[in-house]
Amino acid sequence: MGNALQGRAALVTGAASGIGLAIVERFVADGASVLAVDVDRDGLARLADRLGVATALADVTDEEQQAAAAAAALQAFGRLDIAVANAGAGYFSPLLDHPVEDWRRILDLCATGVFLTVKHAGRAIVDTGDGGSIIAIASLNAVQPSRGMAAYCAAKAAVTMLVEVAAMELGPHGIRVNAIAPGLVCTNATSGFFAAPGVVEEFVENTTVGRFAEPSEIAALAAFLAGPESSFVSASTYAVDGGARTGRYPNLFRLLAP
């Protein structure tokens, strides 16, 4: 950590907890000014008090709120150089019983929300005129399917292709676009896995390094992709999964059965 992002301004969605929070912490440590975006008002207040970051209360599935968040970054910092589309959530259901409203909710949050961040934060970076970096948080489930996770897997796979298209279209503006695909990370969002007997053990067994990840490890790659040392890196998805994609995804039907 140092001053690799000094003078840079970043927008991070899903910033109040988990991976998003770790990314905000790392960006601040590396010298960036950060606008933290979330639907968690109390979490944003705690983040602002602790780190002094700017905040915006916004639902990433709402286009007007996403546009307002990007505008807030420009107003707060006079520029935008980095955007991280991190907000997301999972859902577990057998495909044949999957409620369509939950299918739509997960795709809206995990895919459309990323699209709207790319669209509106991307415009703000273009308006700044100095190029920049957009990072989307995908998942191991973008490439490794899981029983019971149809909506989440489909949404995260969509993110990886969206990143490639965005990199093609925004490259002429000097904007690089990449995705990070984490495996199992210990956060509040994955607490259900950690509470269910045998789930974490199977995740760990299927890695090549024999453990799960901490949010700071995802943030470390985000900091690299946001900074100048990745200046020739674009249109790529980077796995941070401990090699889990070489194995098999845990059978959640068996492990989470009532």
- Report which of residues 21 and 193 the model is more confident about: 21
Query: In which band, very low, low, confident or very high, does the pLDDT at 191 lie, cut at 50, 70 and 90?
Result: confident
DSSP 3-state of 118: helix
Neighbouring CB atoms inside 10 A of 181's CB total: 23
Q: Which two tokens stand for residue 26?
A: 């790392």
Say if CB 229 and CB 11 are below 8 A apart.
no
Q: Could you tell me the domains of the chain?
A: 9-243 (3.40.50.720)
User: How do 237-240 and 175-182 pair as beta strands?
Assistant: parallel
Which pLDDT tens digit goes with each residue over 67-126? 999 999 999 999 999 999 999 999 999 999 999 999 999 999 999 999 999 999 999 999
In the block, tokens 């900074």 appear at 227
Helix pair angle (150-170, 113-128), 10° resolution: 20
Phi/psi of residue 241, each to 5°? -130, 10
Cα 128–chain centre separation: 23
Distance CA(239)–CA(11), nearest Å, equals: 22
CA distance 167 to 123: 13
Residue 156 has φ and ψ, to the nearest 5°, of -70, -35
Q: Stretch 165-180: mean pLDDT, rounded?
A: 98
Length of the chain: 258
DSSP, res 12: E
Q: Given the structure tokens 């790319």, which residue do they identify?
A: 118
pLDDT digits (tens, 9 = 90+) for 3-28: 999 999 999 999 999 999 999 999 99
Average pLDDT over residues 238-250: 95
pLDDT bin (cut points 50, 70, 90) of residue 255 is: confident
Give the single-character DSSP code of 237: E
Give me the mean pLDDT over the 38-54 stretch. 98
Q: Largest Cα–Cα distance of the chain, in whole Å?
A: 54
Chain centroid, CA 193 distance in Å: 19
59 has pLDDT over 70: yes
Confidence band of 258 (pLDDT split at 50, 70, 90): low
Q: Indicate which residue of 91, 152, 238, 249 is catalytic.
A: 152
Question: Which pLDDT score, from 0 to 100, does residue 136 have?
Answer: 99
Q: Clarify whether 152 is annotated catalytic.
A: yes
Other Cβ atoms within 10 Å of 21 Cβ, number: 25
- Alpha-carbon span 71 to 65, nearest angstrom: 10
Question: In which band, very low, low, confident or very high, does the pLDDT at 192 lie, cut at 50, 70 and 90?
Answer: confident
Band (256; pLDDT cuts 50, 70, 90): confident
Cβ contact 242:211 at 8 Å? yes
Joined together, the tokens standing for residue 29 give 């440590």
